[in-house]
Structures are given as C-alpha cells and as structure tokens.
Amino acid sequence: MNVRPTLICFFFLWLSAVSSAAGRQYYFVYDRKNFTEAQRYCREKDGDLATVDNMEVMKILNNTANLDNMFYSNNSYRAWIGLYDDHVPNPWRWSLSDTSFYKPGETEFRRWKTGQPDVGYSRKVCTVMRPSDGLWDDVGCDGRWYPVCADVRGSDVTFVIVALALTWTQAQSHCRAHHTDLASVRNMAENQKVQEMLYGGGVYWFGLFRDSWKWSDGSTSSFSFWKNGQPDNNNETCVAADFSQSGAWEDWPCDMERAFICYGPGEC
C-alpha cells in the first residue's frame, strides 16, 4: 500500500534582539529519505531543511510532531533537520551575529595567548579570557566557567559578569535571556574593560566560537540542542531530532532514511 506523505504546517513569528525570522512555516514529511534527498525535496518546494535557531522553535516542533506517523514511516521517532558537519576548518565568529554592531575590521580583533588557538578543527570550540593577562585560550565548550555577558543599547555596551558556573551553550542562553548576548570583544579598549572586571584564578567565557556544524540554508545560528553524549562519531555528519526525547539532536550517517522537517511555503 502506498502511503502519501503527510504534511503538518504551522506559522511561527520570532523576533529577538540578536536576529529575526518572520513568517517561517515548518512542515513534517513522513516519507523516508536520506539527508541529501530530504534536502533536495525541501529545496524543490522553495524552502530548505529546517533551521532550528532557538528553543521556542524546538518546543513548537515537539508539539507538532506526529509520533505515530513518524514511527510508521521509519520505525523510529527521528526526523532530519538541516544541520550537518562539513569537517572544514571554520573561521571564528561571534555569538552576537548582528553585523550592525561591528565596525569595519573590528570583528578581526584577536588577543590569543602564545600558542593559541591549539584545539583541533573538529566539532565546536569556544573561547575564554584569563584575569591575569586578558589573553584568550580556545577550549572545549563543555567546561563550566563564569560568563561575561553584554548589554548593547545602540553604540553603548555594558559588560556583566554572571556568578554562575555554566557551559558555553548554557552561558549563551543565559546571556541572551537576561542581557543581549555573550560579550563580543571588538578592540583593545573593550578587552581591557572586560579584564578589569575579572577576578580569581579561573577563566571566563565570552562570545567567540568556531563550529564545523552548519545549517543547510546557510544560517549562522549557534543554538544547539544535543542529546547528552552527542555528537559522538566523526563519520556521522548529519543531524536528526529524536522526538521520543523532546526532539534532542543526534548525529547519524547521512545515508540513513528518515522522516524530515522542511521550512518554507509548504503544501498546505
């Protein structure tokens, strides 16, 4: 028996201080395809595989997913989203992606400690500053350190130390919820201003990171919702959301056939 793909659509409007996306319409397709086939299908519908750039989108996807249709389609509750790993060394970028915040050349400011950065070019790498000298180190993103957040109001920037030991992703979420974002350090004056606020012998998160994971539509969102222990395999370079686990993300071989989520005009 042929099963016609089921589409479930919704309209979602999201606005924030960091970036904005208006009128995104997401839809599930329960016909099994590998990642490349799913990507082609979504693009043929004038959209792309879904970019999930904040927790509100993730919550709505969870509320929309039809687990019975998904399991009938591929004996699992997983669906492809648009995230994949190209294993190409990426340039460093700032968590605060609003380009109007940066003046020409300021995004290139760096104050690395001698010998840094030295972490390999696979997976996500984040950056800390040390109180003793204000120099930067690249480290894994799962350590727990105090964040430096920023409140941005036009051309005025105020830095805030948060006395909570958090992973980089948790720090980013906290800063975006309570301030503007993790701090961007655009020049030597700002570096000195941040350094003067630091204390103790630890290190402090700020907003510079590098990530080999990319979104199919070219979006630069740094939001992530990985399941514990994921990603876990260099040969698993495409990402599915597991809706039996609140949509938490897992890396999988791209030739697996799964249901998938598009965004765009859809067929509603």
Give the 3-state secondary structure of residue 227. coil
Q: What's the confidence (pLDDT) of residue 234?
A: 67
Q: Tell me which CATH homologous superfamily contains domain 7-86+213-263.
A: Mannose-Binding Protein A, subunit A (3.10.100.10)
Task: Pick the closest to residue 147 from 133, 132, 161 (CA basis).
Answer: 161
Domain ranges of the chain: 7-86+213-263, 93-210
Query: pLDDT per residue over 16-33, tens digit each?
Result: 112 223 467 899 999 899
Q: How many helices (H) and strands (E) does the chain have?
A: 5, 15
Task: Pick the closest to residue 221 from 265, 167, 164, 176 (CA basis).
Answer: 176
Mean pLDDT value of segment 77-98 = 84
Whether the predicted pLDDT of 42 surpasses 90: yes
Total-model pTM: 0.64
As a whole number of angstroms, the distance between CA 76 and CA 243 comes to 9
As a whole number of angstroms, the distance between CA 32 and CA 38 comes to 8
